[in-house]
């Protein structure tokens, strides 16, 4: 109901009591979809709405979301012009590019600005420094983007690659080649920035979902984004993307995501990229509900900051084992990357005279 263009109140056929509404509101905050759900709540008959006090609180939160979206759009347009003045092609990834596709373009909980800039790592990093921006030193070795510091109320990431990709080096090479070609097909939108094609967004954001699913976790906000993308895609676009998911290492988890999108949002079968996988989908949905937005509100999760090195190590290795059925290849390469990083950081561990350097970065 909340993400349908008509927002038909007939879809919601039950009446909740005060405590149930408070639980719905709390979950909407955990998953950063409060303004999305509020849109549906406003269309309910008065007798089915939450208590007036909760409605006022919800309205205030939704207005805050709207204001942040307006600021994000303005800043995205401003950064677009800054880089255009330097002769660089840009595109806004996710975020504001997704929000404009929503039934209400101001109801998506805005995050940061992910701005792809053409030129590759060396050229883009040099340009950003030349323009006077300060970079976050802790993230300078990231494989696909750099964080700008002191950007005011909106965080900005400048991407020199269109995606963080997948962990398998073979699948990732194919994925990056496709995205590097497709990112050139952008559209200037009324909000004042360049938006990638739907095909690009479907592939890039599925890879983004998978990467975060195996790391921090994902919430309903990311699933709403993907549902909206599918609703705006054509049959031809979905067929092309579907034909490539296997080679990109995204097909297995993609089936689970399709089932979850059907279960939560009623995604029609003809809008799915691949056949839905109910067994894996149920497990994915359980992970999503448990995680909240990017795992920041994981229910019953242990606080990693409070763990010693040994306990944290075993917790993370167990997580890899638990997630193995979702994508054996991705988990395998995740562990390879872990050990590669561990060996590479041995000199740093020696310098700090400690086995674990986790606390230096978290």
End of a domain among 283, 301, 319?
A: 301
pLDDT of 311: 76
Burial class (CB in 10 A: 0-12, 13-18, 19+), 50: buried
Mean pLDDT of 255-277: 96
297 and 335 belong to one structural domain = no
- Banded model confidence at residue 299, pLDDT cuts 50, 70, 90: very low
282 and 349 belong to one structural domain = no
296 and 322 belong to one structural domain = no
Q: What domain range includes position 332?
A: 309-362
pLDDT of 78: 97
Residue 249 counted as domain residue: yes
| pTM, full prediction | 0.88
**More reliable by pLDDT, 227 or 333:** 227
- Residue 302 pLDDT > 50: no
The chain-wide mean pLDDT, for the chain, equals: 88
296 and 348 belong to one structural domain = no
297 and 361 belong to one structural domain = no
Residue 213 counted as domain residue: yes
pLDDT of 215: 81
**More reliable by pLDDT, 57 or 334:** 57
Alpha-carbon distance 91 to 194, whole Å? Answer: 5
In degrees and rounded to multiples of 5, residue 234 shows phi and psi of -95, 165
Residue 15 counted as domain residue: no
Coil/strand/helix, residue 129: helix
**b/e burial code for range 104-128 (CB count within 10 A of at least 16 → b):** bbbbbbbbbbbbbbbbeeeebbebb
257 and 324 belong to one structural domain = no
Least reliable range by pLDDT among 93-97, 285-289, 349-353? 349-353
Alpha-carbon distance 362 to 344, whole Å? Answer: 18
- Residue 326 pLDDT > 70: yes
224 and 257 belong to one structural domain = yes
Please report, rounded to a whole number, the percentage of residues in the chain having pLDDT higher than 90.
65
Mean pLDDT of 139-158: 86
266 and 354 belong to one structural domain = no
Mean pLDDT of 84-107: 96
- The number of folded domains in the chain is 2
144-to-75, 116, 251 alpha-carbon distances in Å: 21, 10, 23
């Amino acid at each position: 109901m909340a993400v349908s263009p008509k927002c038909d109140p007939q879809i919601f056929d039950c009446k909740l009591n005060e405590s149930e509404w408070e639980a719905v509101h709390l979950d909407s905050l955990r998953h950063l979809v409060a303004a999305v759900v509020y849109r549906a709540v406003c269309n309910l008959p008065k007798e089915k709405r939450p208590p007036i006090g909760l409605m006022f609180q919800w309205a205030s939160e939704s207005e805050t979301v709207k204001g942040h979206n307006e600021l994000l759009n303005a800043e995205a347009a401003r950064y677009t012009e800054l880089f255009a003045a330097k002769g660089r092609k840009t595109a806004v990834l996710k975020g504001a590019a997704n929000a404009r596709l929503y039934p209400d373009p101001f109801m998506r909980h805005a995050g940061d600005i992910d701005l792809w800039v053409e030129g590759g790592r060396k050229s883009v990093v040099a340009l950003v420094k030349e323009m006077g921006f300060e970079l976050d030193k802790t993230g300078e070795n990231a494989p696909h983007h750099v964080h700008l510091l002191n950007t005011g109320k909106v965080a900005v990431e400048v991407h020199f690659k269109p995606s963080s990709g997948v962990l398998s080096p073979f699948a990732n090479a194919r994925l990056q080649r496709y995205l590097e070609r497709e990112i050139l097909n952008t559209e200037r939108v009324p909000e004042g920035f360049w938006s990638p094609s739907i095909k690009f967004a479907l592939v890039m954001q599925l890879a983004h979902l998978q990467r975060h699913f195996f790391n921090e976790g994902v919430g309903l906000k990311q699933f709403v984004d993907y549902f909206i993308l599918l609703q705006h895609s054509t049959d031809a676009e979905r067929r092309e993307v579907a034909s490539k998911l296997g080679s990109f290492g995204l097909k297995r988890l993609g089936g689970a995501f399709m089932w979850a999108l059907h279960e939560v949002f009623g995604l029609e079968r003809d809008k799915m990229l691949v056949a839905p996988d109910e067994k894996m989908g149920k497990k994915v949905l359980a992970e999503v509900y448990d995680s909240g937005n990017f795992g920041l509100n994981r229910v019953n999760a242990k606080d990693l900051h409070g763990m010693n090195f040994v306990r944290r190590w075993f917790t993370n290795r167990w997580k890899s084992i638990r997630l193995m059925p979702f994508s054996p290849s991705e988990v395998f390469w995740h562990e390879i990357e872990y050990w590669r990083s561990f060996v590479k950081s041995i000199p740093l561990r020696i310098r700090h005279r400690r086995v674990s350097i986790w606390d230096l970065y978290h």
